[in-house]
Amino acid sequence: MSHPRIIDLSYPITSDMLVYPGTERPSFQWIGRVNSEGYNLTRMTMLVHTGTHVDAPMHFVDGVKAIDEMPLESFFGPCKLFRCLDQPNGQEIDLQTIQKSGFDLDEGDIFILSTGIANYADTRDYNYLYPYPSKDLLEWLIGKGIKAYMTDATSIDPVSEKESSRHKLLFNAGIPIVENLCNLNELPGDRHFIVSALPLKLRGREGSPCRAIALPDVEYLGQGK
């Protein structure tokens, strides 16, 4: 019996990893070592929005769901990916660009925007040149009933904006956001496949790290293509 390919969409978490400007890097401390305590044991300290992670609506909006209150179905299931062909230059991706390409979604799909910024993941440009969605594109996606918005970018708002208006637009519709995906170049852009980005069950918190994966050869559960 053959098993479907699994593509890892998550960045490794390290003490010297690239992080969003003004935030702390993870830190690791040995609490136990085999040569002294008889076991290896690590303490890890990090922000919940480090690396590949999920933003729950509570991140920027009060009176909405925390990460542990989000249904797991929001982070697992059929998705469609739109791939930006232009080089990342901090540009806005609008609805007209999406529709002219012939891209469309089924109701309840997960949407993935591949901006190409992952090619800059080890440089300062990663945090400043990422393309981001226009508000009319997000309103169209909300109208399509997407379960989640996922992207390889570090944010869905332009770096110059402080109001986080695009985050809030999705959050007010109850839609979570997954940021900092990688390896999207290995995924199809012309058909459905399965994606998973399950967060940790952190009670009452606004986000969580996740281990995101894709099954690029599986359109629906139990149905290979």
pLDDT digits (tens, 9 = 90+) for 35-67: 999 999 999 999 999 999 999 999 999 999 999
User: CA of 96: how far to CAs of 2, 86, 134, 140, 182, in Å?
Assistant: 41, 15, 10, 11, 26
223 has a pLDDT exceeding 90? no
Tokens of 79: 């998705």
Beta partners for 132?
Answer: 92
pTM more than 0.85: yes
List of domains in the chain: 7-12+48-224 (3.50.30.50)
Compute the average pLDDT of residues 164-189: 97
pLDDT in tens, 3-23: 889 999 999 999 999 999 999
